[in-house]
Structure 1
Amino acid sequence: MATNDACFHGDIPAAYDRYMVPMLFDPYAADLAQRVASIDPHRVLEVAAGSGALTRAMSSALPHAEIIATDLNQAMLDVAALRHSGGHVVWQQADASSLPFPAQTFDAIASQFGVMFFPDRGRAYREILRVLKPKGTFFFNTWDSVENNAFAKAVKASTDTLFRDDPLSFFQRTPHSYVDAEAILLELEQAGFQSATFARVEKTARAPSARDAATGFCKGSPLRTEIDARQSKVDVVARVADTLEQVFGMGPIEGGMSAFVFTAEAPRQT
């Protein structure tokens, strides 16, 4: 993984929150928040919280729980804090591979589309297990393949054509790279978790326009870093928007998306 894949800086966080969150992340945030709420936790840690899509959903689903939302990028947390000022949510910069909390602190830990960014997932999983209470639960999701996510598939096809001699690799390198669910279960077991399960969950991605969707992908994700590095004179957002219009039509657009949702428990004594 390129080291800057986990670095959301400059105006990327604001574009991510404006375009990507309602398009892709809010539907899965609602799903994951309800799964966390089903165990009625009192203390919840969120890792890789980003701009707070899952945080806001959990805050609504768990109004009496203490929620600590962490992310590696302070810029993302700054955007998140502007969107949500609930008194039972604390925002804190933290690295999932070295969490600044005592052992056995949390009833539940959640992460929305963050684990694929961890440079050492085994270490991060062991660290998450360390701060979970005995029988506490870890909830997280990961994207399915690019081919099973319609917007991403179309954006990738468009940029592959634009940069034929030097294609962008972000999609398959990071967000859609962690798709072997059985292998992920094995990694969780090796880290010390038990009763790990997964479900494939399909949702619908929606955007007000192809232009909005293209702007989100090209300006609100690390894909932007790859685009900028190529110093292209082409208006990449406009070209991607044209492709999305050809595939999904004019006006508001929608397409299928797919992800895996995992749950895993800490042993009775960790």
Structure 2
Amino acid sequence: MDASTSDARFSGSIAELYERLLVPMIFQPFADDLVARIAALPGTRVLELAAGTGVVTRGLASHLPADASIIATDLNAPMLELAARTGTVRPVTWQQADAMQLPFEDSSVDIVACQFGVMFFPDKAKAFAEARRVLRPGGTLVFNTWDRLEANTFPEIVTRTLAMVFPDDPPRFLARVPHGYADPDVVARDLAAAGFKSPPRIATVAARSRADTPRLAAIAFCMGTPLRNEIEMRGDGQLEAAVDATAEALANAGSTQGAIEGELQAHVVAVSR
């Protein structure tokens, strides 16, 4: 399995660990921010792309007006199935869908939203063009993308540590994908290439991440993301070695075996059709 295949594979226990550990650790504050921004936009029909295990979907279901419809999609069936099992306070439509080829009519939604999913799209301009196609005139595409690795404490430590554990072939998933789409100028160019005429509104948002122990943070990143696939490709026993090394590095950085905290930073992008 090459990196292009493993980077998007959320199978096995990854989805459960992602929801249990990563969502509260790094995703929840940005989900709350994104939901507040969406709730302030006009429109009653929302399409969510790359919904994952549903952290934004749950927020939308709780905060949008009762007459708003929500369609939550993801390419990865295990993630979407977990989101549907977890449920929401009111009904939403769960649908497996590829952001590169959306199964929805032109001008059929008011808002397209995506929480930390655009980094996984193989052709971002094409995915943005699909979002633009299904948006009604005047509708809004709103999404977030992680800032550079160096501005996010836990993944930076994990990546640096794994480069020492595997010096000949370091796993670079976190740098390559989640933190590989951090340049606002590149984002703006891709949106323009997709046909958006208005310049995007881009805000940089900071937050804090927290883990109860360094080991839980290490498990979250090494076992609850597709980084796991990359580590396991390096041989039997390497996953546990990676968790041990990153847990030690995170503990040393925090000078504690107890709860640790770190910086988080992301860009939030909104653009009108």
Task: Give the TM-score normalised by the residue count of structure 1.
Answer: 0.95
Q: State the shift of 1:135 in Å.
A: 0.3
Structure 2 partner of 1:6: 8
% identity of equivalent residues: 45
Q: State the shift of 1:122 in Å.
A: 1.1
Q: Note if 1:23 corresponds to 2:21.
A: no
- What is the rounded CA distance, in whole Å, between the counterparts of 2:100 and 2:145 in structure 1? 18
Structure 1 partner of 2:260: 253
1:49-93 CA-to-partner distances (Å, cap 9, x unmatched) read 100111111112214211100000111011111212443311100
Q: State the shift of 1:264 in Å.
A: 0.3
The code of the aligned residue for 1:5 comes to D
Q: State the shift of 1:94 in Å.
A: 0.1
- What is the rounded CA distance, in whole Å, between the counterparts of 1:63 and 1:51 in structure 2? 22
Q: Note if 1:113 corresponds to 2:116.
A: yes
- What is the rounded CA distance, in whole Å, between the counterparts of 1:88 and 1:105 in structure 2? 19
Q: Note if 1:229 corresponds to 2:236.
A: no
Look up the SS of the partner of 2:200 in the other structure.
Answer: strand
Q: Note if 1:196 corresponds to 2:200.
A: yes
1:185 paired residue among 184, 188, 191: 188
Structure 2 partner of 1:122: 125
1:104-136 CA-to-partner distances (Å, cap 9, x unmatched) read 111101000100100111111111000001100
Look up the SS of the partner of 2:142 in the other structure.
Answer: strand
Structure 1 partner of 2:172: 169
Is the 8 Å Cα contact of residues 62 and 89 (structure 2) preserved in structure 1? no
Structure 2 partner of 1:238: 244
Query: Where does 1:85-104 land on structure 2 (aligned, <5 Å)?
Result: 85-104=88-107
Structure 2 partner of 1:38: 40
Q: State the shift of 1:166 in Å.
A: 1.0
Give the stretch that moved more between structures: 49-58 or 234-243: 234-243
- Which stretches of structure 1, 4 residues or more, deviate above 3 A after TM superposition? 85-88
Q: Give structure 1 stretches of 5+ with no counterpart.
A: none
Q: Give structure 2 stretches of 5+ with no counterpart.
A: none
Is the 8 Å Cα contact of residues 37 and 62 (structure 1) preserved in structure 2? yes
- What is the rounded CA distance, in whole Å, between the counterparts of 2:63 and 2:181 in structure 1? 28
2:269 paired residue among 254, 257, 262: 262
Is the 8 Å Cα contact of residues 6 and 230 (structure 2) preserved in structure 1? no
Over aligned residues, Cα RMSD in angstroms? 1.2
Is the 8 Å Cα contact of residues 58 and 88 (structure 2) preserved in structure 1? no
Is the 8 Å Cα contact of residues 142 and 269 (structure 2) preserved in structure 1? yes
- What is the rounded CA distance, in whole Å, between the counterparts of 2:83 and 2:262 in structure 1? 26
Q: Note if 1:207 corresponds to 2:220.
A: no
